[in-house]
A and B are shown apart, each in its own frame.
With several copies, the nearest count.
Chain A
């Protein structure tokens, strides 16, 4: 079973040199800590920044410089600021190569639910609906099951949707999966996790072809 850090680490292996990447709040943010050696990626923050740097050193926080999670951050040499319309413009235009975000539920046809639990608090979708509707290449980072132990990989989402037919790949604490026309194709198992356990915890159609390798880091 992967820790949140390991989920981020596995996703980071999918980064390619020159990628522009948008990382959502939560586990996705951690991906920035595991960018492979020799790979240069530029992080986009949808509030209006390209080239997001690390958190500031204590005492050097700048209230005018935050990311989409409202965290204080820094810039790097070559960073650019822009307004939110241009920011979502470049997202809609498909200029962002990879989008990593969290989810409450994902369905076997690539639908995602992440912004609302009816009857409980509605926090709002923020930029998630724009991101999932526009990105060509979306990886969802999440736990395989919710706190009650119920699968988050479903035949059909039960919560209000954020977007339809958009998720391409999923990395959970148990597995790396790809969505194809038939369902969740199991690409890799987390170290020490069996195919049976993944099958057990996947409510949607799980596609297993041949030997499923264990992830390596």
Chain B
């Protein structure tokens, strides 16, 4: 069983129009840059993207928005993207905004075989519309369904040939959760190593969740808010 692919285009060989695609990352941190470039190049149409953010105008998922490849966006925060705003207000794109913790936990629920989770996030707000509200121990919770996707595209720091993944710092974010929620999970890594090179105590995503893996190239790792202090 070979999981190793040469590059993003090969790993995404069977991606289709109208696919539901999860993309890891928070802001531009830890996003699957090579997979996004492949989606643009392969010109996949009418996709549903599930991702915490929608990138910026000229990077990340913003590249897919610019080419109008996205039919629907499911995210928690999209405030960094003017093209997104335009397509949303013009009705060109559907948008489903859901709380960040709900998004994260619905992905995890899928990887943990839990059909639903209960969360207090959104109770009493428009997020709760049409959803079951249930009281446990005096507190109201919304029932939210587990999420999965046709493809989960995630970015890790290191990975091995069996699909085991390690993330770096806050680039972890949604990546391990979405990695568990893909019918097909494709991981791009900065460094692809042989099995045995990663310490088994410190692997974040066990390879059982990962179907394909490749070593990415030319990581730009753009910084959204460069904040610094005086020495």
Q: Which residues of A contact B (CB under 8 A)?
A: 17-18, 20, 40, 42, 44-51, 54-67, 69-73, 75-96, 111, 121-130, 133-134, 160-165
Contacts and interface: CB of A to CB of B under 8 A. Distances in A.
Contacts of A64: 29-30, 157, 168-171, 221
Nearest to A57: B231
| Residue in A44, A50, A58, A127 whose Cβ sees the most chain B Cβ within 10 Å | A127
Contact of B173 (A62, A83, A125, A161): A83
B41 interface: no
Given A78-B160, A80-B164, A121-B85, A90 B226 contact: no
Contacts of B223: 61, 63, 66, 72
20 contacts: A40-B1, A42-B162, A46-B100, A51-B162, A69-B225, A72-B225, A77-B195, A78-B160, A84-B26, A85-B177, A89-B111, A89-B113, A92-B112, A123-B79, A124-B78, A124-B79, A125-B100, A129-B99, A130-B119, A163-B124
A78 B169 contact: no
B170 A45 contact: yes
Nearest to A125: B99
Interface stretch (B7-15, B63-71, B198-206): B198-206
Interface residues of B, number: 80
Contacts of A92: 101, 112-114, 119-121
Please classify the interface of chain B as helix (H, G, I), strand (E, B), loop, or mixed, using the class held by over half of its residues.
Answer: loop
Contacts of A84: 26, 52, 100-101, 103-104, 173-174, 177
Contacts of A45: 170
B108 A56 contact: no
Given A50-B208, A85-B108, A126-B77, A133 B126 contact: no
Interface string B24-54: 0011111000000000000000000000100
Contact of B127 (A49, A63, A67, A129): A129
A164 to B, nearest CB: 3
B100 A81 contact: no
Contacts of B122: 125, 129, 133
Given A82-B206, A86-B112, A66 B100 contact: no
